[in-house]
Amino acid sequence: MTDALALLNSVFGYPAFRGNQRAIIERLAGGGDCLVLMPTGGGKSLCYQIPALLRPGCGIVVSPLIALMRDQVAALEEAGVRAAFLNSTLDVQTASRIEAALLKGELDLLYIAPERLLAARTMDLLKCARIALIAIDEAHCVSQWGHDFRPEYGALGVLAQAFPGIPRIALTATADDLTRREIIDKLELAQAETYLASFDRPNIRYTVAPRGLAKSGGAHAQLIDFLTEHHQGHAGIVYRISRAKTEETARFLNQNGFPCLPYHAGLDAATREDTQTRFSNEPDLVVAATIAFGMGIDKPDVRFVAHLDLPRNIEAYYQETGRAGRDGTPADAWMTYGMSDIVSQRRMIEESEGADAFKRVAQQKLDALVGLAESAGCRRVRLLSYFGESSVPCGNCDNCLNPPITFDGTELAQKALSAVYRTGQRFGAGHVIDVLLGRDTERAQSLGHNTLPTFGIGRDAGEGQWRTVLRQLVALGFLRADSEAYGALKLEDAARGVLKGETSVQLREESAAPARAKASRQSRKRAKDRSGSGSWPAIPIEADTAEGALFQALRAWRADVAREHGVPAFVVLHDSTLAAIAAAKPDSLSGLRAISGIGDAKLARYGVQLLEVTSAQPGS
Among 35, 41, 325, 394, binds ligand ADP (CB under 6 A): 41
At closest approach, how far in Å is the CB of 573 from ligand ADP?
Answer: 11
Q: Does the protein bind ligand ADP through residue 252 (CB under 6 A)?
A: no
Q: Which of these ranges, 12-20, 243-251, 273-281, 460-468, lies near ligand ADP under the rule CB under 6 A?
A: 12-20
DSSP per residue, 148-160: T--HHHHGGGHHH
- Under the binding rule (CB under 6 A), the answer on residue 48 touching ligand ADP is no
Q: How many residues does the chain have?
A: 620
* Shortest Å distance, C-beta 141 to ligand ADP: 14
Give residues with Cβ within 8 angstroms of 502, minimum separation 6: none
Closest CB to Zn ion among 197 and 372? Answer: 372
Site for ligand ADP in 273-312 (CB under 6 A): 300
Return the one option of ligand ADP, Zn ion, none that residue 378 interacts with (CB less than 5 to 8 A, by type).
Zn ion
Report the partner that residue 40 touches, choosing among ligand ADP, Zn ion, none (CB closer than 5 to 8 A by kind): ligand ADP
Of 18, 180, 303, 508, the one binding ligand ADP by CB under 6 A:
18
Cα separation, 465 vs 488, in Å, equals 19
Minimum distance from CB of 463 to Zn ion (Å)?
A: 30
Q: Does 45 bind ligand ADP (CB under 6 A)?
A: yes
Least distance (Å) between residue 379 CB and Zn ion? 5
Residues 307-326 that bind ligand ADP (CB under 6 A): 326
Regarding 44 and contact with ligand ADP (CB under 6 A), the answer is yes
Strands 168-172 and 131-136: parallel
State the minimum distance, in angstroms, from the CB of residue 516 to Zn ion.
13
When the beta carbons of 421 and 536 are compared against ligand ADP, the nearer one is 536
- Alpha-carbon span 455 to 473, nearest angstrom: 20
Q: Is 17 in the site for ligand ADP (CB under 6 A)?
A: yes
Is 235 an interacting residue with respect to ligand ADP (CB under 6 A)? no
**CA distances from residue 479 to 266, 458, 495 in whole angstroms, order as listed:** 36, 18, 7
The CB-of-137 to ligand ADP minimum distance in angstroms stands at 8
Asked if 133 and 168 count as a contact pair (C-beta separation under 8 A), the reply is yes
Phi, psi (5° rounding) for residue 188? 50, 60
Nearest distance, CB of residue 597 and ligand ADP, angstroms:
7
Q: Which of 29, 34, 40, 272 binds ligand ADP (CB under 6 A)?
A: 40
Of residues 324-383, which lie at the interface with ligand ADP (CB under 6 A)? 326-328
β 488-491/479-482 pair status: antiparallel
Residues 547-586 contacting ligand ADP, CB under 6 A: 574
**108: Cβ–Cβ under 8 A, 6 or more apart, which residues?**
52, 53, 58, 59, 76, 81, 82, 83
Burial of 122 (0-12, 13-18, 19+ CB in 10 A): middle
Q: Is 517 in the site for Zn ion (CB under 5 A)?
A: no
- Binding to ligand ADP, residues 413-432 (CB under 6 A): none
- Residue 85's DSSP bridge partners are 111
Of residues 415 and 574, the one with the C-beta less far from ligand ADP: 574
Tell me, rounded to whole angstroms, the distance of Cα 378 from its chain centroid: 19
One-letter identity of residue 240: R
The one of ligand ADP, Zn ion, none whose footprint includes residue 41, by CB under 5 to 8 A per kind, is: ligand ADP
CA distance 383 to 2: 37
Taking CB under 6 A as the criterion, the residue among 14, 199, 226, 252 binding ligand ADP is 14
CB contact set of 199 (below 8 Å; sequence gap of 6+): 39, 175, 318, 384, 387, 389
Q: What is the DSSP letter of 215?
A: G
Least distance to Zn ion, CB of residue 397, Å: 3
Nearer to ligand ADP, 111 or 466 (CB): 111
Question: Rounded distance, CA 620 to CA 568, Å?
Answer: 28
Phi-psi sector, 487: left (phi>0), alpha (psi -120 to 50), beta: left
Give per-residue burial for 292-331: e unless 16+ CB within 10 Å, then b.
Answer: ebbbbbbbbbbbbbbbbbbbbbbbbbbbbbbbbbbbbbbb
Burial class (CB in 10 A: 0-12, 13-18, 19+), 529: exposed
Could you say which of 24, 34, 42, 280 contacts ligand ADP (CB under 6 A)?
42
Stretch of residues binding ligand ADP (CB under 6 A), selected from 42-50, 159-167, 334-342, 405-413: 42-50
What amino acid is encoded at 314 in this protein? I
- The single residue among 98, 378, 553, 572 that binds Zn ion, judged by CB under 5 A, is 378
Task: Supply the minimum distance, in Å, between the C-beta of residue 615 and ligand ADP.
Answer: 27
Other beta carbons less than 10 A from residue 259's beta carbon: 14
Amino acid identity for residue 27 in this structure: R
- List helix spans (H) across 286-378: 314-321, 339-351, 356-374
Question: Which residue, 311 or 597, is less far from ligand ADP as judged by CB?
Answer: 597
Q: Is 59 near ligand ADP (CB under 6 A)?
A: no
Does residue 397 interact with Zn ion by CB under 5 A? yes
Please list every residue from 116 through 155 that binds ligand ADP, using CB under 6 A: none
Site of interaction with ligand ADP (CB under 6 A): 14, 17-18, 21, 38, 40-46, 300, 326-328, 574, 596
Site of interaction with Zn ion (CB under 5 A): 378, 380, 394, 397, 400
